[in-house]
Amino acid sequence: MTKSDQKLKDVVKQKYAEIAKSEQSGGCGCCGSEKNDCDQNNYISFSDDYSDQKGYLKEADLGLGCGIPTDIAQIKPGQTVVDLGSGAGNDCFVASRVVGDEGLVIGVDMTREMIDRAKKNALLAGLTNVKFRLGDIEDLPITSNKADVVISNCVLNLVPDKYAAFNEIIRVLKPGGHFAISDVVIEGDVPDLLREKAEFYVGCISGAVSLKEYLSIIDQTGFQKVGVLKRKRIELPVSFVQDILNQNEYYLYLEAGLGIYSVTVYGEKPSSCCG
């Protein structure tokens, strides 16, 4: 990992630690600026409404997602599900209602504060089929061929080494297992100047790659039946972008013709793959 990658990971970890320790239900992580006060000028949520989902726990919903991957994850009772970047446990708790007492949901997050908050939420909900582990997505603390399903919600775009991330996903999945991942992708060129903006990185954009590159990474990892099942364009308010960028940087942003999308992608590990 390069020094710049490590620096960005440290920024992400710091930001999400602050969110985890916050008393408010919503966070300033996805598209939050360094001001971190969550007013309309420096925060926009990509999150979908979870309130009608079985297993939904308000205390676990920090508004940091960009989809509902459990909706299309084809989770079944008794299965083992791994949630990457599990945060306060929102998607884990929804999945736990589907897998039931005979199943298991494992949430992995690199931020100790998020793990602690998720564990408290699990106790609050009285759940015994959900476990949380501290670890990096590029080096998952999970044995090979463990999971029937891997889910993730607006997290992999924040991972510098996406090849390593998807290699880990295919390793922990059982042969024939699959993933359903909601994430942010871009269309148009993002100027290097924007990629150097740490708060923009935490804000979901600078860490994102094009959909073509995203799918190429997945294909190269060895997954099959890969497809985009949901796609939604995300419009950033002008006031929000200008709050992050100075005038020259804002002109670069406009010239890039940037298109930002929330997508939910599905893929399967080949049945003959040893992991």
Segment 229-235 shows an average pLDDT of 88
Closest CA to 144 of 109, 105, 177, 112: 177
Residue 50 above 90 pLDDT?
no
The CA R_g of the chain, rounded to the nearest whole Å, is 18
User: In which residue are the tokens 């939420």 written?
Assistant: 121
**Within-domain flag for 274:** no
- Return the pLDDT at 46: 62
- What are the structure tokens assigned to 142, written together? 């999970």
- Return the pLDDT at 22: 78
Segment 228-235 shows an average pLDDT of 89
**Strand boundaries in 154-223, DSSP class E:** 173-187
Residues 6+ apart with CB under 8 A from 108: 82, 83, 84, 85, 86, 132, 133, 134, 135, 137, 140, 141, 142
**Within-domain flag for 64:** yes
CATH of the domain at 135: 3.40.50.150
**Within-domain flag for 275:** no
**Within-domain flag for 211:** yes
**Within-domain flag for 78:** yes
Tell me which of 265 and 208 has the higher pLDDT: 265
Using CA atoms, how far apart are residues 76 and 61, in angstroms rounded to an integer? 23
Question: Which phi and psi angles does 61 have, rounded to 5°?
Answer: -95, 100
Buried b or exposed e, range 6-29, using 16+ CB within 10 angstroms: eebbebbbebbebbbebeeebbbb
Using CA atoms, how far apart are residues 250 and 242, in angstroms rounded to an integer? 6
Buried b or exposed e, range 120-149, using 16+ CB within 10 angstroms: ebbeebebebbebeeebbbebebeeebbbb
Q: How far is CA 17 from the centre of its chain?
A: 15
Local confidence band at 153 (pLDDT 50, 70, 90 cut-offs):
very high
Split into its structural domains, the chain has a count of 1
Mean pLDDT for all residues in the chain: 84
The lowest-confidence range among 29-33, 51-55, 115-119, 196-200 is: 29-33
pTM: 0.85
Tell me which of 186 and 131 has the higher pLDDT: 131
- Whole domain around residue 250: which residue ranges? 3-268
- Return the pLDDT at 25: 46
- Return the pLDDT at 32: 39
Tell me which of 42 and 249 has the higher pLDDT: 249
Tell me which of 112 and 40 has the higher pLDDT: 112
- Return the pLDDT at 102: 97
Query: What are the pLDDT digits (tens) for 16-32?
Result: 888 888 754 444 444 43
Residue 160 above 70 pLDDT?
yes
Residue 251 above 70 pLDDT?
yes
Segment 52-70 shows an average pLDDT of 85
